[in-house]
Structure formats: C-alpha cells, structure tokens
Amino acid sequence: MTSFIPGLRSRFSASPHGEGGTGGTVGDAGEDGDGMGEFLSLNSSTEINGSSMSSSGLRCAAGLLSLAQDRDTKGQKVATAMTAEGADASAMRPYDIFISYSRVDADQAMKLRDLLLARGHHVFFDAEGIDAGAEFPDVIDRAVKGAKVVLGCWTPAAIQRRWVRIESRIGLDRGSLVAIALEKMDPEALPAEFYNVNVLDMSGFDGSEAHPAWQRVLVAIDRRLKKTTAAPTADDIRPAGPKKRRFSPLALGAAATLAIAAVGGGGWYFAGSGSSFDQAATAASFDKTVKATEPVMANALVSALNDVETTTNGKVFWALAQLIAVEKSPSVEELARFEAAVTKFLGGPCHCVIVEGAPFTIVSTWTLTAYGVMDRAPPAPVVDALLAAQNREGWWSSTMDAADRPDNAATYITALAVIALRDIDPALKADPALQARAKAARARAVEWLKKRRPKPGVNWADYPDNSLRTEAPSVSAMATLALLPEVGPAEAKEIAETYVAGIDKLSPVDQNISNDVNVIRAGGDTYVDTYRHVPLGWEVYALGKSYPLLTGEAATKAAGLLDQAKAISLSDPKLARQDWMLAEQFLGLRGARDALAAKKR
C-alpha cells in the first residue's frame, strides 16, 4: 500500500467509527519549505523515498512513519493510509479497499486490515472516528466513493449506526460493497435498504488467512477489484454485467416476479422516429400485463389482511397499505378489515407506524395513498401527524421524528408525500381547514423539490443536499411524478425532458434481485440503484407520464424505452419474494398504461 503526499502536507485517514462509522483526521503533519516536488511514500514496508528532500523534510517524514509504526504498541489507532490535503482528488491513487466498521468492533476490523495489507492492497482504515452529530468528513467521503471495494463489517448493532449505514449505502450504490457479518445476523432484521445484500458470514472467523469464510470474502473482493463479468455466485452482491442498453430482470413478489426480457437493438434509442411509436399498442400491452396480474394482487391482499390481524410488525401493515392502494376498490369486508388495521397500527399516541424502532414516514404516506385511491377520508389524526412531521423547509425525512436535516431518503419521501396529499385532497373536502393545511404542506414540498431539480441529463441525487452523492433514476421517477401535475405546461415539459435525458444515459444490466439495478453511466462508472421501495415500475410510470409532453429527440428516447418495456411480465412465480414489492411494480405499469391511454402526444 502506497500513498504519495506532495510537499509532505498531509492528513492521516482515521478509524473506528464514533457513532458507528468512519471519519475524522489527525491534522497536518507539517510542510517542508523546500518540499516542491518532494513525495513521502508510506507503504507496508515503511520505506521513505525522496527525490530532493531536505533534512528537515526527511526528519518530518521519519516522524510521521515513527508515529505510524507506534500505533499498535502505544494503543493509538493511526491510519495505515494517507491522503493529500488540498490536492486534486482525481490525481490521487484510489484506494483498493475502504473498511467500514463500528468502534466496538475495532479489534476485529484491524485484523482484517492487516490481512489485506499483507496481500498488498491499498487500504483506507479510519482511525479517529466521527463524533456523534458531526458532518460526514470530506476525506472519508472521497475515500469511500473512490474505493474499488467497501468492506462493510456488520453486526446487528453496527448496521444500525449512522455512519456504517451511510458508508455501506454508498458502497451499495456504487456496486462496490462486500458485506460481512462479524456476528450471526438475521437477514430479516437488516434495514430495508440492505434486504437484498448477500452478507458473508464471518462469525466463526479465527483470524487465519486460510479460514474458509475469509477465503470467500477474498473471492468477493478480488472479483470487484478485477471487475470481472463472470456469472454471479453466492458471494456476489451485484456484479456488473456487459454494458447493454436494456431493462433488466427483477425478482419480486411472494407470489410473483417481474421479469424484464432483454431487448436487442444495442441502444436506448428507439429504432425509428418518435412518430413511429405506437402509443395505443404500448398502452394495450401494459393493459394485458396488468389484467393478467390482477388475480395475483387480489390473492396477495387476502394474505396481507390475514397476516396483519395476527402481528404487531409494522412492515406487515406497510405491505397491506400498499396493496390496498393498488386494489383501489376493496370489498366492504376488506375495507372494514383494513380500517381495523389502521386503528390498530396508527391509533397510538403518534398516529404513525413504528418500524425498526422509528416512526416511519413512508408508512403514513402509503396509508394516505390507500385512502386517496378509494376516495375515502383518512383519519384526521393520521393526516395531522404527517403534516406535523414536515420540516419548515418543505421536506419530509424517512422518520417522523428526524433531525433538522434531510436524510438520504428525503427526496423520495417528499415526492411520495406530494403524491399522497394530492390523492387525498378530494376526500378532505368535508374538513376544509384540514384540506387547506394539506394543500399548503404540499405546496411547500413542491417548492422544495423544484429548487433541487437537477440540470438536464442528470438524475436526481439520493442525498438531496449533497451533490456528490450517487444519482438515483428511481428517485428521479418519483420526483417527476410528483411535480408534473403541480406545474404549468412549459415547466412540465422541461421536467419530463430532464427525466428522460437522465434515464437515457443509464443502462441497467442483467443480474438483479428485487429492484436493485446495476446502472452504468455513459462514462463507464458503475453503481447500484437500490431504492427498495421505488421499483422499476415507477420509472416506466414516469416515462408514460412524460412521453405525451415531449417532442423531437426526447420523444424518440422515451418511445424507445416504453417500447422495450412492453416485454415486462408480472406473472412469473419462479423467484418469489414479497407481495408488496410486486404491488409497486403493478401500480407503476398500470399508471403508465393509464397515462398513455389518456393523452396522445
């Protein structure tokens, strides 16, 4: 492992994660006045190389190396890698591996670090930690994004820590995450965003290089470092496939699976002009798919109603709310059972649903959406609770008691809340005061979203106030669907054009589970779009809403994508997962069908 520091001005990368993540620095190491063109090379054999180093520079370098060598004997966790302060990040050598772990697991993580260093890997190992409430340091941000592999050292406690989740999420978004379990972990207890991550069990690891579990981890690491396109194994999380412009297969639903067949043609562009696209035929194709899946959705709703009556698990109610929203017209008996579940789950002091120990905003929004599609007034306390959770700037966070800063789900949650409040507006007419408050909240949310619109050709970011975060086409779809009905024709066309241009530059690849889609930017940078609650169906829905507004090249691009989407099937039960994920796919395709059938371009 070698890192070069121009002029000897450096900061140490630091370690175990205060509040559960990496972060922090150990300050400047000093700068030699004659240091122009001089470099300090810190590697696993602690060599010093200097082309024209002065004696003071050498003494400074020797001091730094001595400090690094003393890290174990003195109990100090000093970084095994260095970064250049003020240097252009693009000129620095990317790290092979970024180790993400919680402070309490430092000893285990350092053993893994030492094994990786012995293999010659360039490793980022944070040594100071990020204090509770601190910002995500730039040095950590650059390191985790630039690393070829993010090694997530998870335990049931660690994965609940803020910084471990952020670092692991960035790795997942970029297709670089290798997740390992330092203790036994229940997959169903993982945070929702990591449900489909394959976690390699290291709970029995004895520290030996030859241990079978460690060898499996090394295989997964090597695969990402080599960027192979071999067929996935059990050690894979999301391997990047060949760069082909097409939708990809998605495994979903406890009773069904969304499978999207690969379509030839080698490009997002439709093989023809926008005028040759048969809008009516595409709507009819979606209609056929939707109608074939309706019995599956009806059965899923019956199962969810039965499940929700025997549990207090908020995720079960969450699924039910989505299925009711899809059903639109439940029977009298189904409606009565649903409202009994609403009273059971949302009748407490917070009038919200607790998931993983927190009041989840998303469950409230889906509950309101369910009432909205039925044109039925929701319980006023549920509406009040959601309105009270809105930040004064206009956004909602993933939890209703969140801190005063948008989290990585804020854009998606805010877009979904706009849709939900719009859906329930007619049903609130009997309570004019509540209706007015809901409209005002929706207007604030719309303005917040509009201020964060990306430039043309760029997808919305998953972290709304951090432009460095990964683009997320699924969030782009939700924001587009939220905004199109809220703005005038000219602005709606601009939003639609921006959405299509952003989607057009991305390309899903072959191997996907659930809605986790490996995406390749035009420049070849690979990441994973993992918004578990925003399946590809929403992206098709947004294309269906956008196409009638478009002309010229944008219409041609949207037409090509919609033409490919006709290959979607919602009736393959081979890779069953969860009904409510299928519900969102179903809702998305149905929305695209209705949009194309209702308005000709």
- List b or e across 491-512, with b for residues whose CB sees 16 or more CB atoms inside 10 angstroms: ebbebbbbbbbbbbbbbbbbbb
Residue 329 located in a structural domain: yes
My answer on whether 215 and 270 are in the same domain is no
Beta bridge partner(s), residue 471: 461
Least confident interval from 172-186, 202-216, 368-382, 569-583: 569-583
How would DSSP label each residue in 316-327? HHHHHHHHHHHH
Residue 536 located in a structural domain: yes
Per-residue model confidence as pLDDT tens digits over 482-491: 999 999 999 9
Residue 422 located in a structural domain: yes
Which pLDDT does position 214 carry in this prediction? 95
My answer on whether 212 and 283 are in the same domain is no
Q: What is the phi/psi pair of residue 32, to 5°?
A: -85, 135
Say which residue, 212 or 438, is predicted with more confidence.
438
What is the spatial distance between Cα 474 and Cα 118, in angstroms, rounded to a whole number? 40
My answer on whether 11 and 154 are in the same domain is yes
My answer on whether 279 and 413 are in the same domain is yes
Q: Which domain holds residue 84?
A: 3-226
Question: Which amino acid is it at 593?
Answer: R
Structure tokens at 298: 């009806």
Residue 252 located in a structural domain: no
Per-residue model confidence as pLDDT tens digits over 399-408: 888 767 787 7
Which pLDDT does position 24 carry in this prediction? 32
The radius of gyration computed from the CA coordinates of the chain, to the nearest angstrom, equals 26
My answer on whether 156 and 304 are in the same domain is no
My answer on whether 183 and 283 are in the same domain is no
Number of folded domains in the chain? 2
My answer on whether 206 and 265 are in the same domain is no
The domain boundary, picked from 226, 249, 272, lies at: 226
Average pLDDT, the chain: 72
Residue 25 located in a structural domain: yes
Per-residue CA distances from 94 to 78, 119, 162, 227 (Å)? 19, 17, 24, 15
My answer on whether 206 and 261 are in the same domain is no
Mean pLDDT value across residues 318-322: 91
Judge contact between 589 and 541, C-beta under 8 A. yes
The domain boundary, picked from 206, 226, 246, lies at: 226
Per-residue model confidence as pLDDT tens digits over 19-30: 334 433 223 333
My answer on whether 289 and 210 are in the same domain is no
Judge contact between 559 and 230, C-beta under 8 A. no
Judge contact between 554 and 496, C-beta under 8 A. yes
Residue 328 located in a structural domain: yes
Confidence label for 378 from pLDDT (cuts 50, 70 and 90): very high
Nearest to 438 by CA among 382, 481, 477, 373: 382
What is the spatial distance between Cα 556 and Cα 243, in angstroms, rounded to a whole number? 21
Residue 582 located in a structural domain: yes
Q: What is the phi/psi pair of residue 516, to 5°?
A: -75, 115
Judge contact between 536 and 250, C-beta under 8 A. yes
Nearest to 98 by CA among 189, 172, 191, 10: 172
My answer on whether 209 and 335 are in the same domain is no
Least confident interval from 216-230, 245-259, 288-302, 506-520: 245-259
Domain of 124, CATH number, reads 3.40.50.10140
Domain of 482, CATH number, reads 1.50.10
My answer on whether 392 and 288 are in the same domain is yes
My answer on whether 196 and 281 are in the same domain is no
Residue 153 located in a structural domain: yes
